[in-house]
């Protein structure tokens, strides 16, 4: 009986290990948050009635990932929206990232609230390319978020995002989008999957 249990445990461990290896093999991390300012640059932004103090972002240690992005947002005021950006290439050199061989935008996320939250992510490219997707149900535990490129939606004022020339990704918080109007979102290992 002990031998069967041991064989089963080893088989299960190998299966889980192979599954993890196949996920990590197809998962390219463009921003591991290993530098205080990000690989190519990152930071907060505000819009509408938001004040500069209503959004902040800093890289902090993480036991699980080494580092994570701690994003603070406050969109309690009517008309407020804010968020953070992460560059996928050096904007001073007009660099972009070619994600055309990938099919998903991916990252790990959790919040500081027991109540699941909703926020928006955007992917941008030159020539006013901008598309968005709403992420729902992020709570206190790490969630691996995988968003198919085909599920992003173009704004009425924007052009389609050119996934072969991505410049940046943003995390957006909007007043009255969710019951959570202030708090922290933690993000780790932003990347792309095939």
At 185 the pLDDT is 98
pLDDT, tens digit, 9 for 90 and up, residues 18-37: 444 444 569 999 999 998 88
**What single DSSP character describes residue 101?**
T
* DSSP output for 119-130: EEEEEEETTTEE
pLDDT, tens digit, 9 for 90 and up, residues 84-97: 999 999 999 999 99
Q: How many domains does the chain have?
A: 1
Show the domain range for 70.
28-193
12 occurs within a structural domain: no
6 occurs within a structural domain: no
Those residues whose C-beta lies under 8 Å from the C-beta of residue 178, and which sit 6 or more positions away, are 117, 118, 119
180 occurs within a structural domain: yes
Q: Are 173 and 61 in contact (CB under 8 A)?
A: no
**C-alpha–C-alpha distance, residues 190 and 30, integer Å:** 6
**C-alpha–C-alpha distance, residues 75 and 81, integer Å:** 6
For residue 54, give the CATH number of its domain. Answer: 2.60.120.430
43 occurs within a structural domain: yes
135 occurs within a structural domain: yes
Residues pairing with 66 in the sheet? 62
At 57 the pLDDT is 95
For the question of whether the overall pTM of this predicted structure is more than 0.95, the answer is no
């Amino acid at each position: 009986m002990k031998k069967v249990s041991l064989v089963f445990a080893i088989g299960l461990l190998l299966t889980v290990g192979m599954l993890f290896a196949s996920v990590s093999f197809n998962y390219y991390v463009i921003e591991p948050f290993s530098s205080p300012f990000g690989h190519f640059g990152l930071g907060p932004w505000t819009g509408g009635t938001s004040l500069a103090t209503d959004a902040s972002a800093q890289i902090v240690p993480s036991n699980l990932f080494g580092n994570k992005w701690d994003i603070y947002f406050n969109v309690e005021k009517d008309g407020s929206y804010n968020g953070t950006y992460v560059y996928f290439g050096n904007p001073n050199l007009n660099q972009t990232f070619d994600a055309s061989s990938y099919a998903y935008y991916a990252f790990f996320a959790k919040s500081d609230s027991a109540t699941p939250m909703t926020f928006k992510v955007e992917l941008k490219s030159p020539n006013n390319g901008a598309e968005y997707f709403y992420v729902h149900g992020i709570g206190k535990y790490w969630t691996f978020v995988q968003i198919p490129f085909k599920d992003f939606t173009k704004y009425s004022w924007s052009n389609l995002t050119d996934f072969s020339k991505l410049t940046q990704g943003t995390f957006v918080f909007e007043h009255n989008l969710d019951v959570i109007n202030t708090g922290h979102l933690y993000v780790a290992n932003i990347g792309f999957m095939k």
